[in-house]
Amino acid sequence: GEDVEQSLFLSVREGDSSVINCTYTDSSSTYLYWYKQEPGAGLQLLTYIFSNMDMKQDQRLTVLLNKKDKHLSLRIADTQTGDSAIYFCAEDAGNNRKLIWGLGTSLGVNP
């Protein structure tokens, strides 16, 4: 069935780049999303990429999509302590609006 997988934890030093990876199974996905969840809050849309794109850059965020390998990554340049959060990958698996979610990657940033 449809599945989205992410590693559960990532730890980086402040100022380094963070790369959060995600793999998905549904090749018919139209959009792929990255959401951020801070403690006690809801999920906040960070960025998304259309499936016919390979890369999207938005300030410190770079999204790379490899459709052949069904691999999505989020790179955060110059990671700050405020970037500590859980990052969710999700794919839009079609018109029924059932986003398929990963379990989230908890990013810890060490000073």
Site for another protein, rule CB under 8 A? 30-31, 33, 35, 40-45, 48, 88, 92, 95-99, 101-104
**What's the closest the beta carbon of residue 63 comes to another protein, in angstroms?**
14
Nearer to another protein among residue 68 and residue 97 (C-beta): 97
Look-up: residue for tokens 């110059």?
78
**What's the closest the beta carbon of residue 15 comes to another protein, in angstroms?**
30
Nearer to another protein among residue 62 and residue 101 (C-beta): 101
**What's the closest the beta carbon of residue 13 comes to another protein, in angstroms?**
27
